[in-house]
Structure 1
Amino acid sequence: MTATDDLANLLPTADQLKQKAAAAQAEKAAEALRARTAEQTEKNALIERLSKPSGVSDEDALKRVAIVIQRAVSNGFTEVQVARFPNTLFTDRGRSINQQEAGWQETLTGLPKEMYEFWKRHLEARGYRIRYQIIDFSSGVPGDVGIFLEWS
């Protein structure tokens, strides 16, 4: 074996390195695509689940609300965020909520609508207020909507 043969085995050619780098970049891109696809699939499943009735009885919901409120009050709070939803659950993607337009509640669907109707039936007359607010402005546009329950 000659010194030239040793060098050929020890050091790959520039073309071989380019091919190896291209393969590594392609694998990174494929992995990123798989991750984005999995994330989108998970998000779609969540939106599908949130678009349907919860199946929680008013009695169970009242018990849950009482626990949340008692915990918040004991920590000195006068409001609590009770939920966060993607803006795709609103017929206008949260635009009327962001603009504080009259009739914004007509844009509610799925679980956000169920929560509003529960508040209307059981909590409004007891002096509780509900506030829907855009809480995420990723990319400069309205994103997730938070639902807050207030009592002060």
Structure 2
Amino acid sequence: MSGVIDLDQVRARAAEIERENLRKAMERMKERQGDEDALYHDFMHDDLQPTWREKLNRAILNAVEHEKNEIQVMRFPSSWCSDKGRAINNFESNWPSTLTGKAARGWELYQKELEPLGYKLKAQILNFPGGLPGDVGIFLAW
């Protein structure tokens, strides 16, 4: 190359790179949306795993070993609550009625099997992206 590159070539190459980056970003967005759709479907329709007792016992004992008195048993977007997390965010006593999918089935299991043993279940909003309720954390305490 004997001279300075032509500005039209520079602009053309910059536009080409921008188009390629945009295409890649769109592909990643589609993949993420597909992953999120699959997670939502699983959350709404899948049952709790048959091995939940063993996993729960292991998690509780591990927490006790680390001098903790609660474990997070579930995390999901507040948009998956029937009220988008409002009752949980406002500490309303009826928050369990806003749970859907696997979280609602987890609440039923808690009432049937864990509450009679003295365990407590609580929920809280874990983050506030853009100032709005983000993820819900469900915690089992003793």
Using the TM superposition, give the Cα deviation of residue 95 of structure 1 relative to its aligned residue in structure 2, in angstroms.
1.1
- Which deviates the most, 87-96 or 140-149? 87-96
Q: Do residues 61 (structure 1) and 44 (structure 2) align?
A: no
Percent same amino acid among aligned pairs? 33
Gaps of 5+ in 1: 1-5
Deviation at 1:132, TM superposition (A): 1.1
Residue 66 of structure 2 corresponds to residue 114 of structure 1: no
**What residue is the counterpart of 1:81 in the other structure?**
72
Instruction: Report the secondary structure of 2:83's partner residue.
Output: coil
The 1-side partners of 2:46 and 2:109 are apart by 12
Tell me if 1:19 matches 2:12: yes
Gaps of at least 5 residues in structure 2 are none
TM-score by length of 1: 0.86
CA drift of 1:55 comes to 4.9
Please give the alpha-carbon distance, in whole angstroms, between the structure 2 residues aligned to 1:11 and 1:54: 65
User: Can you list the C-alpha shifts for 1:104-126, whole angstroms capped at 9, x where unaligned?
Assistant: 11111111111111110011111
Does the CA contact (< 8 Å) of 2:48 and 2:102 recur in 1? no
Give the match's secondary structure for 1:51: helix
| 1:63 Cα deviation after fit | 2.6
Match of 1:99 among 87, 90, 103: 90
- Give the structure with higher Rg (CA): 1
Moved over 4 A (4+): none
